[in-house]
């Protein structure tokens, strides 16, 4: 267990990150939701709205868990099981949404005559809502599996006075039976999608730059900027995903018995970092942010 000063620093850090996550993701949601009143959301906007909502849910769940640990509030066994299961649901849903967003950028940017890419380009507006539904089904399945593996019969549940120890042990015991499925289908498969999309986007960028190198500067600049912006977004999401995926994997395997404070801090940092990337790389969201900043200065 961490020393009191270290624990206090971690709690303050996580509180700041949680507030930042709620502000950034709340901004995404409040900007996009009014658009639904006047028109149908585009595929990218559906993904951004879903990511904003899922990141907000993850931030709230982590905040409640951290607060319960700090106050040593004694959750019942059933409530703890449901809460941790809901945590896994929101995290897995966020991973798959990130993979879908990178897939969307890849389909929009990569120039390929392959039948699959051509079909996806034509059907992207039809495809994204169905992939979103598939992500929800995968996440709900993970929720059910997690809840079933977390269940501890009342007669076998040890009585522990220290709430943090008992709830932390509940999570660790669950990970021993659930970590393979979670690391494979919950975070590993989406990571491979993000990695593959990043490789394809970067390769398409280099190929496109070489293809138009002999053409007029204005055309070259316009086309290259679109590719560079998409590549920057996908690579930023990849680096963020890779950093968290590495820490998560080590904490669930090699360093399972170590203190989880750093992991919880990383979890809290993921939401505001991803939301900031989405806002700053999306022209409409960035324009809305600039307009809001200008209004506050007046």
pLDDT of 158 strictly over 50:
no
Q: What is the CATH number of the domain that holds 279?
A: 1.20.1070.10
pLDDT of 55 strictly over 50:
yes
- How far is Cα 133 from Cα 119, in angstroms, rounded to an integer? 20
- How far is Cα 63 from Cα 16, in angstroms, rounded to an integer? 11
Tell which residue, 248, 268, 247, 75, has the closest CA to residue 168.
75
Structurally, the chain folds into a number of domains equal to 1
Q: pLDDT band for 222, please (50, 70, 90 cuts).
A: low
- How far is Cα 216 from Cα 163, in angstroms, rounded to an integer? 67
pLDDT tens column, 87-115: 888 888 999 999 999 999 889 888 778 88
pLDDT of 156 strictly over 60:
no
Are the C-beta atoms of residues 73 and 289 closer than 8 Å to each other? no
pLDDT tens column, 251-293: 766 655 555 566 677 777 889 999 999 999 888 899 999 988 8
* Containing structural domain, residue 119: 4-297
């Amino acid at each position: 267990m961490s020393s009191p000063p270290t624990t206090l620093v971690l709690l303050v850090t996580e509180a700041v990150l949680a507030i930042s996550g709620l502000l950034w993701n709340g901004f995404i949601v409040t900007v996009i939701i009014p658009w639904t009143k006047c028109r149908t959301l585009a595929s990218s906007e559906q993904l951004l709205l879903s990511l904003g909502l899922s990141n907000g849910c993850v931030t709230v769940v982590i905040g409640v868990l951290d607060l319960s640990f700090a106050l040593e509030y004694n959750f019942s066994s059933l409530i703890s099981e449901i809460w941790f299961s809901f945590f896994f649901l929101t995290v897995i849903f966020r991973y798959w949404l990130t993979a879908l967003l990178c897939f969307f950028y890849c389909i929009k940017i990569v120039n390929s005559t392959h039948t699959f890419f051509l079909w996806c380009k034509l059907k992207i507006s039809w495809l994204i809502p169905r992939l979103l539904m598939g992500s929800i089904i995968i996440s709900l399945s993970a929720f059910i599996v997690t809840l079933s593996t977390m269940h501890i019969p009342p007669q076998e549940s040890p009585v522990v006075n220290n709430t943090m120890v008992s709830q932390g042990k509940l999570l660790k015991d669950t990970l021993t039976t659930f970590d393979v499925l979670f690391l494979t289908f919950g975070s590993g498969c989406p990571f491979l999608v993000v990695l593959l999309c990043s490789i394809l986007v970067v390769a398409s960028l280099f190929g496109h730059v070489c293809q138009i190198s002999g053409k007029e500067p204005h055309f070259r600049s316009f086309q290259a900027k679109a590719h560079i912006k998409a590549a920057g977004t996908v690579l930023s999401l990849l680096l963020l995903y890779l950093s968290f995926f590495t820490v998560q994997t080590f904490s669930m395997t090699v360093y399972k018995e170590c203190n989880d404070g750093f992991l919880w801090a990383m979890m809290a940092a993921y939401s505001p970092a991803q939301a900031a990337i989405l806002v700053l790389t999306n022209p409409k969201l960035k324009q809305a942010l600039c307009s809001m900043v200008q209004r506050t200065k007046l």
